[in-house]
Amino acid sequence: MLRPFVRAPNQLANFVVHFRTSVLPNEGYDETHFDAYVERWSSTAAALTAGLQGVLPALAPRLVSLELNTQCNLLSALAPAATALTGLTKLRYTLSDHYTISPDDCNVLGALSSLQSLYLRSWLPRPFSADLKSALSRLTALTSLELEAVSIPPDDSIIEDLGLVSHLKELCALRIKGLGLQSLAGLAPLTRLRDATLTA
């Protein structure tokens, strides 16, 4: 007899952190105003990072899904608890335009070996970050992967082919946008892939 899935009472289904500030106009403010704005933003980012690190020891063992929508490299704040995030299967990490995933972010990402679903939106440099490639190579449990690059000129090729995902043998769904793909090489080994959306 089929039984409905019941989440264990000690599991936290979803934890969402949004940190966005208003964007200053290009004109109509002086340097003093701008400096004060940046100082307030930096202080808020530091406070948010410290706050997240403060609650992580209690949350980490129970986290199943985490969404970070931010203007600072908040993923790196998970570093002290990364080894305890053994139940985390879904991560959405969205960085605002002109912010890029950092090496510290990548170190944390690569440690989240239980991830089955990953969405990453970030400014991505050309060539593609070696740190991010290394992190992705360790996420062998992934069944769904979405990578979206922002603020990249259309003629800029960040990766030439899909070799960076060819080792993710469990991957069933793949969505890539804005990376300037020039070749589909790397898809052949993904025998479980059933859903692919590739936008140059």
| 179 burial via Cβ count (<10 Å: 0-12, 13-18, 19+) | buried
Q: Is the dihedral of CA 166, 171, 173, 176 positive or negative?
A: negative
With cut-offs at 50, 70 and 90, classify the pLDDT of residue 112: very high
- Looking at residue 152, its pLDDT comes to 57
pLDDT at 119: 96
Provide the mean pLDDT of the chain.
Answer: 77
What pLDDT does 123 receive?
Answer: 83
Name the pLDDT band for 113 (thresholds 50, 70, 90): very high
User: Can you tell me whether residue 53 is helix, strand or coil?
Assistant: helix
Distance CA 105, CA 79 (A): 8
Structure tokens at 197: 């959306």
Compute φ and ψ for 97, nearest 5 degrees.
Answer: -50, 140
Higher pLDDT, 40 or 81: 81
pTM of the model: 0.78
Residue 111 confidence (pLDDT) = 94
Mean pLDDT along residues 153-175: 80
pLDDT in tens, 70-80: 877 888 888 88
Give phi and psi for 59, each to the nearest 5: -85, -35
